[in-house]
Chain A
Amino acid sequence: MPMVTVHLHTIFQKQTPKGLENKIFVSIKDYPTPKGLLDSLNIDVNNEAVLLVVNGKIVPPTHQLEDGDEVHLIPAISGGMY
């Protein structure tokens, strides 16, 4: 089954159904794009403070996921943007 690895950063690690986890594996059948996954984890990616990164690049929530993708959900820390 095509799967992706979702890396959860810092405070997002607490938002999984099982509690504290630094990564989870999900099937593309269940989540063809990150949007549904984000909704299920209660993460608002439209917030400026949230970064959605797939294979090293920022992508929109509607990005089509592919087998083996590495997804990172990151609270956008590091000073300097504004």
Chain B
Amino acid sequence: MLKIWRVDVGKQNLMVVDTPEHWVNLGGRGLSARILLDEVPPTCEPLGPNNKLVFSPGLLVGHMLSSCDRISVGAKSPLTGGIKEANAGGSTGMQLTLLGIKALIIEGTSHNDTWWILFLSKDGARFDPADKIAGLGVQDAAKILLDQYPKKAAIALIGPGGEKLLSASGIQNLDKDNLPSRIAARGGLGAVMGSKRIKAIVIDAAGGEKAPIANREEFKAAQKKFTQSLMEQPQTKVYAEYGTAAIARMSQSFGALPTRNFSSGHFEGMESISGEKLRQTILDRGGEGDTTHACMAGCTIRCSNRYADASGSTIVTPLEYETIGLVGSNLGIADLDVIARINNELNDIGLDSIEIGAALGVAAEAGIFSFGDGDAVLRMLDEIRNGTPLGRIIGNGAEATGRIFGITRVPVVKGQAMSAYEPRAIKGTGVTYATAPQGADHTCGLTIRAKVDHLDPKGQADLSRTVQINMAGYDALGACIFAGFGFAASPESIRDLLNARYGWDCDKDVLQVLGRATLKIEREFNLRAGFTSADDRLPEYMMTEMLPPTNAVFDVPDQDLDNLFNW
């Protein structure tokens, strides 16, 4: 049975213990939430000794199940002050599971200013000095680590953003090709890792064993059924060819593409940054560019990409919709090359492109630079990397930037920036932004593809509830959000996979059971941290200022928001 690995950074020791009974049936975001509620005082300082950083693979991780090897990372968030989970693809989840780890809990506080590499292997945990990589961007740091440690090891590391304890910093993970490009981005988890003085975690599963499967034949049959279902979904083909960037035109068709600090839902330069343009550019340029790429071994969707410049040299891997929305249209930038360069810098500093894109939009509204000026954005990122006062302001997110520059149009909930769906035009997603315990978050329950009138406030809370529960369920499994297309068409495969893997006897509604349990724990943590219904609201201006071109305001009644979790 998988174990709990508990690392104390002050004592620099490891305790390996059996998984407590009430944690056994949990995984991913659900397990992370449970551990945080059980062990972290909700009112603690997020960057202090009482916060803990949890790495928790989902329940289905470790078996090369397509799109189901994600790692959840959790802590109390320095950005929101509430509970946080961010998940990522790559190899971290798989390697932790192969090493027999149900959850890795990093706790305590370091007693000096030295940076460390936490090396995990079948021999236990070891703290190696990180002198050679401290201060480096994640790309150079990862190269050095890959030379120093076994090639097959997974690496989770922070960049200068995490080292500077910035609230917009995340934790980068290697993809299957050993590129540090899969970031658990949201909520400032990089800063929590930085507060523990851990620059990198290297996980070497050599000599480890695959997680046990209670009934191999049944698991194999369920896996086959799920994979078939996934491959039959038309979305799988769209994602393979166009990636998430395809959502740009879709959002614009609803008047929901965030533009110039969320002041419009229509961007006149959209066609230049669309998924269709992205694909054609990659194909025309050739070289190292690739329109389809898997971030996790065994993924059949392959929604990722590699974007190359005119000479065919890679600028960034991958270029995704949320970044295109927040760094492109939201900053008035209609050039994919510029967006890709900004994205690569963000990746290297180890920052959340959504949070920084939103913060820069607020900064542009404050007149710090002009919308559309990509060179100015790159200079701002240098300021963040160098830790200048302006860089630290932007690096602490949109809310901090708005407060310091006196801007009230700040697209955040619970201190976290909205993703690239305007909530006035997609009101169900607005409900999710408002009520999700994580703050405004692109992974907590998008509703844009529902066949509803997105401008009608009626029924949006019910829609958001359904999606939030299911998303929390997928996050407990370690499933990518896009695996949901396959699971939706074959919901019994979730039950069958879990029963075969663990020898359980769960029902077809297990996804919802896991999702509700997760949300309940997260809500409880936030309640104890001092959150109230006032925290479950969109910014005031979105309820009064009309959004072009739909001229919509967010008008879902407060009562609907307050009753969302009364199921």
Known: A53-B253, A58-B452. A10 touches B446 (CB 8 A): no
With both beta carbons as reference points, the residue of chain B lying nearest to A49 in the complex is identified as B234
Interface positions, chain A 12-47, Cβ under 8 Å from B, are 13, 22, 47
Cα A74 to Cα B448 in complex, Å, equals: 12
Cα A48 to Cα B488 in complex, Å, equals: 11
Cα A70 to Cα B550 in complex, Å, equals: 14
Residue from B241, B253, B453 whose CB has the most chain A CB atoms within 10 Å: B253
Cα A34 to Cα B283 in complex, Å, equals: 32
Minimum Cβ distance to chain A for residue B279 (Å): 8
> B255 interface residue, CB < 8 Å from A?
yes
Cα A46 to Cα B234 in complex, Å, equals: 13
Minimum Cβ distance to chain A for residue B347 (Å): 21
Are A77's CB and B235's CB within 8 A? yes
Are B467's CB and A75's CB within 8 A? no
Known: A79-B481, A80-B467. A56 touches B234 (CB 8 A): no
> B17 interface residue, CB < 8 Å from A?
no
Are A10's CB and B450's CB within 8 A? no
> B254 interface residue, CB < 8 Å from A?
yes
> B133 interface residue, CB < 8 Å from A?
no
> B23 interface residue, CB < 8 Å from A?
no
Residues on B with C-beta less than 8 A from A74 are 249-250, 253
Are B253's CB and A72's CB within 8 A? yes
Are B276's CB and A22's CB within 8 A? yes
> A1 interface residue, CB < 8 Å from B?
no
Are A81's CB and B253's CB within 8 A? no
Cα A5 to Cα B455 in complex, Å, equals: 22
Q: Give the size of the chain A interface in residues (CB under 8 angstroms).
A: 26
With both beta carbons as reference points, the residue of chain B lying nearest to A74 in the complex is identified as B250
Residues on B with C-beta less than 8 A from A70 are 253
Residues on B with C-beta less than 8 A from A75 are 234-235, 238, 246
Cα A10 to Cα B274 in complex, Å, equals: 10
Q: Which of A9, A47, A81 contacts B249 (CB 8 A)?
A: A9
> A4 interface residue, CB < 8 Å from B?
no
Residues on B with C-beta less than 8 A from A76 are 235, 449
With both beta carbons as reference points, the residue of chain B lying nearest to A72 in the complex is identified as B253
Are B238's CB and A11's CB within 8 A? yes
Residue from B242, B446, B451 whose CB has the most chain A CB atoms within 10 Å: B451
Minimum Cβ distance to chain B for residue A48 (Å): 8
Are B481's CB and A49's CB within 8 A? no
Are A7's CB and B249's CB within 8 A? yes
Residues on A with C-beta less than 8 A from B241 are 10-11
Cα A47 to Cα B250 in complex, Å, equals: 17
Cα A82 to Cα B515 in complex, Å, equals: 12
Minimum Cβ distance to chain B for residue A50 (Å): 8
Residues on B with C-beta less than 8 A from A53 are 253-254
Residues on B with C-beta less than 8 A from A22 are 271, 276
> B5 interface residue, CB < 8 Å from A?
no
Contact with A along B212-242 (1 / 0, CB 8 A): 0000000000000000000001110111011
Cα A49 to Cα B244 in complex, Å, equals: 15
> B447 interface residue, CB < 8 Å from A?
yes
Cα A48 to Cα B249 in complex, Å, equals: 19
Minimum Cβ distance to chain A for residue B348 (Å): 27
Q: Which of B237, B239, B276, B447 contacts A80 (CB 8 A)?
A: B447
Are B449's CB and A81's CB within 8 A? yes
Are B482's CB and A10's CB within 8 A? no
Known: A49-B233, A57-B455. A77 touches B467 (CB 8 A): no
Residues on B with C-beta less than 8 A from A49 are 233-235, 485
> B477 interface residue, CB < 8 Å from A?
no
Are B488's CB and A81's CB within 8 A? yes
Q: Which of B234, B255, B451 contacts A58 (CB 8 A)?
A: B451
> A78 interface residue, CB < 8 Å from B?
yes
> B484 interface residue, CB < 8 Å from A?
yes
Residues on B with C-beta less than 8 A from A47 are 234
With both beta carbons as reference points, the residue of chain B lying nearest to A57 in the complex is identified as B453
Are B446's CB and A78's CB within 8 A? yes
Cα A49 to Cα B549 in complex, Å, equals: 26
Cα A79 to Cα B488 in complex, Å, equals: 11
Cα A76 to Cα B448 in complex, Å, equals: 9
> A51 interface residue, CB < 8 Å from B?
yes
Are B253's CB and A80's CB within 8 A? no
Residue from A49, A58, A79 whose CB has the most chain B CB atoms within 10 Å: A79
Minimum Cβ distance to chain B for residue A67 (Å): 18
Cα A44 to Cα B336 in complex, Å, equals: 32
With both beta carbons as reference points, the residue of chain B lying nearest to A13 in the complex is identified as B276
Are B448's CB and A78's CB within 8 A? yes
Residues on B with C-beta less than 8 A from A78 are 244, 247, 250, 446, 448-449
Residues on A with C-beta less than 8 A from B450 are 81
Residues on B with C-beta less than 8 A from A11 are 234, 237-238, 241-242
Minimum Cβ distance to chain A for residue B506 (Å): 18
Which residues from chain B sit less than 8 Å from chain A, CB to CB?
A: 233-235, 237-239, 241-242, 244, 246-247, 249-250, 253-255, 271, 275-276, 425, 445-455, 467, 470-471, 480-482, 484-485, 487-488, 549-550
Jot down 7 A-B pairs with beta carbons below 8 A, ordered by A: A10-B241, A11-B238, A11-B241, A51-B250, A56-B253, A58-B454, A76-B449
Known A70-B253, A81-B484; 9 more pairs at CB < 8 Å: A10-B276, A49-B485, A51-B449, A56-B550, A75-B238, A76-B449, A77-B250, A81-B449, A82-B467
Which 6 A-B residue pairings sit nearest by Cβ, starting from the closest?
Answer: A79-B481, A80-B446, A82-B488, A72-B253, A76-B449, A49-B234
Which residues from chain A sit less than 8 Å from chain B, CB to CB?
A: 7, 9-11, 13, 22, 47-51, 53, 56-58, 70, 72, 74-82
